[in-house]
Structure 1
Amino acid sequence: MDFTPTEAQLDLARLTGEVCAKLVTADRLRELDTADERFDETLWHSLAETGVLAAALPEAVGGSDLGVLEQTAVLRELGKYVAAVPYLWSIALGAGALARFGDAAQQDRATQAGAGRIILTAALAEEHNWEPTKPITTAIETDNGWRLTGAKTTVPFANRADRILVPATVFGAVAVFLVDPSVVTVTAQQVVDRTPEYAVDLADTPAELVGTVERGAEILDWVLTRAWLGLSAAQLGTIERALELVAEYTREREQFGKAVGSFQAVAQRLADAYIDVQGLRLAVTQAAWLLSEDLPSAEAVHTAKFWAADAGHRVAHTVVHVHGGVGIDRDHIVHNYFTAAKHHEFALGGGTDHLRALGALLAAPA
C-alpha cells in the first residue's frame, strides 16, 4: 500500500483550505449558528467558482476525472472548518452516483451539481431500521412509472435539493430512485449541530429509476460506502482542528502560575486524543486507498466509521473538558467542533452499528 498523497490531493486540499480560511471565520460560524438555516451559501458558490465541486467528478459530467482520494481530501478540509455546505451529499454521493449509473438526463443533473447550479442529496436513513442496505421504503412499477411509499429521516438539505436519491425495496430486491422534493412532504428535524436535515414522507410518490433494478444493490452499496467514508473523512478534519485548538489553549491558559498543558492529567488527555486522531487518519487513508484501487474495502470502511464514532467521541469530550466552562459556551468556537463531532459520530450509524457490520463481514464464510 502506498499512502503518499497524490499531487492532485494536495492541490485540491490546499485550494479548499484557502477558500475556507478566507470565508469561514469565527464570526461567520456564530452568524450561521443564529441563522434560520445553517447553510453557507457564499462558501458554496466560492467552492463552485474555484472548481472544487467539479474537480473529483468524471470528465463526462464536466469534472477533472479525479476520484475518491481527492474527495476525501476535500471533506477533510471542510471538516477542519466545520463548513456548512453539502459537498458529501450533493457531489460525492448525488452527482457521483448519477455520473456513474445514470442516463443522459441524470448525468446532466450531475453536471449542474458540479457547477453549483443545483443541489442533490441522498435519503439513506430510516427510523427503526439499522440496516441501510435493506430499506423499508417500497417501490412498485405502474403504468404511470415508478411509485414510492415510505419515510426517510435526517435527509440533509432536502429543502434545497433539486432531486433526492432514495433507495427502496422492489419485490425483495433493492433499487435506487430519484425523487423531486416538491412532490413529497418535507419536515424540518433538529440535529445536534444544526445541519439542515429533514424527514421525507413518501406516499405513492412518482420516482425515476437510477440505472436498473438488477444493479440496485450495487448502486446502493456504492453510495453507502462513500457516505460512510465521507463522514469519516469529515470527522478526521473536525477532530484534527479541535485538537489543535485545545493544544493552543493549554499552552496559553495558566493556573497556579503554570500552563495547564504542563499538568500531568491534562497532558495525558491530550496524548490520548493525539493517538485517536492518528488512528482515525490511518483508518480513513487505508479505506480511501482501497476504494480508489477498486480493492475490497468494506471492512476498512466500517473500521474507519467505527474510529470516526469512537475516537470522535473521546476527542470531542476531551476538547470540551480541557477548555472548562468556555468549552460549553455556545459563543465559543469549540462548541462548533463538539457538535460537529457528535453529528459525525452518529450519522448513518454509530460505533456499535459499524462493529456489528464489521463482525458480520469477518464471520462470513470465505
Structure 2
Amino acid sequence: MDFQLSDDQRAIAEMAGSLFGDLCSDDRLRAFTASGDSWMPDLWAKCVETGLHALAIPEAAGGSGLGMTELMLVLEAQGRGLGMVPLWRHQIAAATLDRFGAPAHQALIDQATTGEALLSLALDGLAGSTGVALEARPEGDGFALHGRVPALPLGIESAAALLPANTPDGLRLVLLRLDAEGLDKVAGMFTHGEGVAELHCRGVLLSAADVLPAAALAWVEPRAIAALAALQLGVSAEQVRRTVAYVSERVQFERPIGSFQAVQMSLADAHMDIEALRSTLWQLVYRLDADLPAGPEALATRYLACETGHRVGHRAQHVHGGIGVDLTYPIHRYLYWSRALGLALGGSAATLERLGDWLANNDTLGWKYDLAEHPTL
C-alpha cells in the first residue's frame, strides 16, 4: 500500500498552507476580530482566484473534479490558519446540486463555480437533540416550507442553502433560495466570529425539483463530517504547536515549564488525540473517494473530532494559565473554533449512541476476514 500523497496533492497542500499562512497572521486575525465582519471576503477572493473554492465540484460543472482527500488537505490548512471562509459548505453544496439536482439548478451551480454566488449548507439538526425543525408540506405541484433554522452559516451573505427538512417521504435535503418570499432572516454571530442567520420560513414555496432525492442526504452527511473533522484537525494541531512553543519559553521555578513531567504528559496526550483523529479521518476520506460505504467510519470520525477538539482545547488553555484567557493573546481563538466545530458536529454523546446502535446490529464484524463489506447506516 502507498500512503504517500501524490505530487499534485502535495502542491495543493503547500499552496493552501501558504495562502492561509500569509493572509491569516495573528495581526490580520486581530484586525478581523476588531472589525466585526462576519467573514473574510478578501481571503475568499484569493480562494476563488486559486480555485480552492471549487476543488470538489465536478469538472463537468466547471470545478476541479478532485476528491475529499484534496479538500481535506486544504481544510486542515484552513483550520491551522483560522481562515473565515465557507470553503467546504460552498463546494459540497454545489457538488450535491450537480449530482442530485435538476436542470433548473444549473444557473446556480454555474454562479457557485465562478464564485459569483455563495452557497451554504447546514445539517446541524441531524445530530442535535431537538431534531430538524423544517417541514416541507405538499402544495400544488411543489412544496411549502415551514419552520425554523437556528443558525445558518453566512445565511445573510449566501444566495441559497441546502437544508434538511421533514417531508411526507421522510427527511430530504431542500434547496432554499435565501431571497424567497415568506423567509425572514435574523443576523447573528457564532462562537468563533462567523456570521449566521436564524431563518423563519412561513410557507416558502419550493418547486418539486428543489426537494432532492433521499440519496442526496446520505451522500452529503459523511462528507460534511469529514470536512468539519479536517478543520478540527487543523485547529487542534496548531493549538498544540503553539502550546509547545509557549511551554518551551515560559520559565517558572528557574526552568521552562515544558520540562515538567505533568506538562509533557498533558501535551503527549493531546498529540495522541490528534493522531487518532488523523488516522480515522484518512480512513473516512479514502472510503468516500473510493465510493465505499462509510457510515460507521463517519460516526467514529465525528466522535473523535468532537472529543479531540474538547480535550486538546482544554489542555492548551490549562497549560497557558492566565494568559490563555487574555483576548490580546491569540490562543483563545483556537478554543473558540474548536468549540464551534464541536457544536456543528453535534457533540460526542449523540454520535456515540448512534454508533453504538450500529455496532449492536452488526455484532459479527471482525470475527472473519471473509465477511462481506459492512452495510451502510
TM-score by length of 1: 0.93
How many pairs align? 361
Equivalent residue, structure 2, for 1:265: 262
More deviation, 144-153/59-68:
144-153
Alignment partners' CA distance in 2, 1:119 and 1:169? 25
Equivalent residue, structure 1, for 2:86: 86
2:273 counterpart (269, 273, 276): 276
18 and 127 in structure 1: CA distance in 2 versus 1, 3 angstrom threshold: closer
Alignment partners' CA distance in 2, 1:310 and 1:291? 22
CA contact (8 A) 1:175 1:209 kept: no
More deviation, 9-18/236-245:
9-18
Equivalent residue, structure 1, for 2:142: 145
Question: Is 1:22 paired with 2:22?
Answer: yes
Alignment partners' CA distance in 1, 2:133 and 2:3? 38
Alignment partners' CA distance in 2, 1:326 and 1:220? 43
User: Structure 1 residue 191: deviation in Å?
Assistant: 2.7
More deviation, 178-187/307-316:
178-187
CA contact (8 A) 2:145 2:205 kept: yes
Equivalent residue, structure 2, for 1:96: 95
SS in structure 1 of the partner of residue 179 of structure 2:
helix
Alignment partners' CA distance in 2, 1:245 and 1:44? 25
Question: Is 1:39 paired with 2:39?
Answer: yes
Alignment partners' CA distance in 1, 2:67 and 2:129? 29
CA contact (8 A) 2:55 2:91 kept: no
The letter for the 2-side match of 1:152 is: V
Question: Is 1:10 paired with 2:10?
Answer: yes
129 and 260 in structure 1: CA distance in 2 versus 1, 3 angstrom threshold: closer
Question: Is 1:251 paired with 2:248?
Answer: yes
CA contact (8 A) 1:125 1:153 kept: no
More deviation, 299-308/177-186:
177-186
Alignment partners' CA distance in 1, 2:5 and 2:202? 46
Alignment partners' CA distance in 2, 1:150 and 1:113? 26
Task: Tell me the alpha carbon deviations over residues 200-225 of structure 1, each in whole angstroms, 9 at most, x when there is no partner.
Answer: 11110122455766x22x11121221
Task: Tell me the alpha carbon deviations over residues 310-336 of structure 1, each in whole angstroms, 9 at most, x when there is no partner.
Answer: 111111111111111111111211011
Alignment partners' CA distance in 1, 2:220 and 2:70? 16
Task: Tell me the alpha carbon deviations over residues 79-112 of structure 1, each in whole angstroms, 9 at most, x when there is no partner.
Answer: 11111011121112x1121121122342332232
Task: Tell me the alpha carbon deviations over residues 212-266 of structure 1, each in whole angstroms, 9 at most, x when there is no partner.
Answer: 66x22x1112122111111111000000111100011111111122111001111
User: Structure 1 residue 52: deviation in Å?
Assistant: 1.2
Alignment partners' CA distance in 2, 1:65 and 1:128? 29
User: Structure 1 residue 59: deviation in Å?
Assistant: 0.5
Question: Is 1:321 paired with 2:306?
Answer: no
Alignment partners' CA distance in 1, 2:155 and 2:86? 10
Equivalent residue, structure 2, for 1:361: 358
Alignment partners' CA distance in 1, 2:48 and 2:274? 30
More deviation, 1-10/349-358:
1-10
The letter for the 1-side match of 2:158 is: A
Alignment partners' CA distance in 2, 1:358 and 1:328? 35
The letter for the 2-side match of 1:319 is: A
- The within-5 A match list for 1:66-145 is 66-92=66-92, 94-126=93-125, 129-130=128-129, 135-143=132-140, 145=142
84 and 234 in structure 1: CA distance in 2 versus 1, 3 angstrom threshold: same
44 and 324 in structure 1: CA distance in 2 versus 1, 3 angstrom threshold: same
Alignment partners' CA distance in 2, 1:202 and 1:47? 32
Alignment partners' CA distance in 1, 2:347 and 2:191? 14
CA contact (8 A) 2:306 2:345 kept: no
CA RMSD of aligned residues (A): 2.0
Task: Tell me the alpha carbon deviations over residues 24-70 of structure 1, each in whole angstroms, 9 at most, x when there is no partner.
Answer: 11111111212233301100000100111122321111112111111
2:237 counterpart (229, 240, 253): 240
CA contact (8 A) 2:176 2:210 kept: no
Equivalent residue, structure 2, for 1:203: 202
Alignment partners' CA distance in 2, 1:250 and 1:129? 37
The letter for the 2-side match of 1:205 is: V
Question: Is 1:168 paired with 2:179?
Answer: no
CA contact (8 A) 2:119 2:158 kept: yes
Alignment partners' CA distance in 2, 1:212 and 1:198? 21
CA contact (8 A) 1:124 1:155 kept: no
SS in structure 1 of the partner of residue 303 of structure 2:
helix
Equivalent residue, structure 1, for 2:303: 306
331 and 111 in structure 1: CA distance in 2 versus 1, 3 angstrom threshold: farther
7 and 207 in structure 1: CA distance in 2 versus 1, 3 angstrom threshold: farther
Alignment partners' CA distance in 2, 1:208 and 1:18? 43
Question: Is 1:228 paired with 2:225?
Answer: yes
Equivalent residue, structure 1, for 2:282: 285
CA contact (8 A) 1:126 1:151 kept: no
144 and 357 in structure 1: CA distance in 2 versus 1, 3 angstrom threshold: same
Q: Unmatched 5+ residue regions in structure 1?
A: none
User: Structure 1 residue 147: deviation in Å?
Assistant: 1.3
Equivalent residue, structure 1, for 2:371: none
User: Structure 1 residue 176: deviation in Å?
Assistant: 2.1
CA contact (8 A) 1:154 1:197 kept: yes
